Amino acid sequence: MEAMTKRVAESFERMSLPILLVSLLLTGFLAYFLVGSLAFTTDLSSFAPDTDADDAQERIEGAIGTSPHLIYINVKPAVSEDQVANVLEMKALQQLAEDYSMIQSYSEENGFFIDSQINAAEVLERFLEQRNHTGDLSVFNDWREMLDAVLEDEGCGDAIGSDERSIATAAFASSALLHKDLDYSPICDWLESGQGNPTPTASSTLWLIEISGEIESDDRQRHANQIRTMLSGGSILALNRCCALLRWISFNKQSQLSAKGRACLSI
C-alpha cells in the first residue's frame, strides 16, 4: 500500500507542471468566451436602472414604433460688439439652405437615417413653393427681390395667405424656430410704403433634425458627430462665423439630458 501511495505521489509530482499549464489554458479559453463578447460603453443609460417610464416607453414603441431622436442646432452669427447680429440676412439663409441640402444628402447616402429636418431657410423654401415660384433662395440677392417676386399688392396681414398650411408653418417658425427678439416689422413697413429695407431681424434660429429611432445608439451618435463635423468645416459655422449646440435626447429620458452626449462648437 505504501509503495502504491509512493508511486502515485511521484506521478503527481512529475505531472504537476503539465497540469498547471493545462489549467491555465482552460482558464484562458473559458475567459475568452465569457468575457470576449462584452463591450465597453459610455452610454450612461445602459447603467441606469429600469423604471416605470422605461416600461411605458416599451409599450408605446410596441404600439406606434420607436420614437425618433432629436438634434437641436442653435445657429448664432458671431459678430463684433459694434455689429448687430442678424441670422435672417439673405446670404446667411442661403448658406443655411445649402447646409440643409448637404445634411439631407448625407442622410440619403447612409440609409436615410433622418426622418425630417426643418430650419428657417427650409420654411422660406416652402413659402416660395406655395407661392408657385420656380426658383429657390439662391436666386435672390436680398429680401426685397424675394418679396417683389412672390407678392403682389399685398399687405402685412395677408402676405402669408389663407392657406392653413402656410399659416401653421409661419406660426411655427416665429414661435419655435426663431429667437424671441424676432422683428418682422421691416417687412410690414416695406409692404405699406415700398420704401426701406424689408429684411427682418433675429439674433438666432433653431435647426431641428429628427433622427430615426430605428437605428442603434452607436450609429446615432456617430451620425450626430459627423453632422457636427460637417457643419464646422466650411459650411454655415465657418462661412458665417456661427456656433452650434448639438445634443441628442431620447423619448422619456430627458432626466438624463445633462449626462448624455452634448457638445458645443465655438468657431
pLDDT band at 114 (very low <50, low <70, confident <90, very high): very high
Rounded Cα distance, 174 and 177, in Å: 6
Residue showing cell 452634448: 262
Percent of the chain with pLDDT over 90: 28
The pLDDT score that the predictor gives to residue 152 is 80
- Given a cut of 50, whether residue 238 has pLDDT beyond it is no
Residues 6+ apart with CB under 8 A from 257: 247, 249
Residues 6+ apart with CB under 8 A from 107: 113, 114
Rank 57-66, 77-86, 121-130, 138-147 by mean pLDDT and report only the highest: 138-147
Residues 6+ apart with CB under 8 A from 86: 77, 92, 199, 201, 202, 203
User: What's the number of CA atoms in the CB half-sphere (13 Å) around residue 89?
Assistant: 13
The pLDDT score that the predictor gives to residue 9 is 59
Angle, helix 185-193 to helix 143-150, in steps of 10 degrees? 60
Q: Among the listed ranges 3-12, 125-134, 252-261, which one has the minimum average pLDDT value?
A: 252-261
Strand partners, 116: 210
Residue showing cell 430605428: 214
With beta carbons less than 8 A apart as the criterion, state whether 65 and 92 touch: no
Write the pLDDT tens digit of every residue in 169-223. Answer: 666 666 667 778 889 899 989 988 889 999 999 988 889 999 998 899 899 999 9
- Given a cut of 60, whether residue 243 has pLDDT beyond it is no
pLDDT band at 14 (very low <50, low <70, confident <90, very high): low
Q: What stretch of H or E contains 178?
A: none
Rounded Cα distance, 99 and 159, in Å: 27
The pLDDT score that the predictor gives to residue 160 is 55
Write the pLDDT tens digit of every residue in 57-113. Answer: 667 666 666 778 889 888 887 666 667 788 999 999 998 999 999 999 999 999 999
Q: Average model confidence (pLDDT) for the chain?
A: 73
Written as one letter, the residue type at 106 is Y
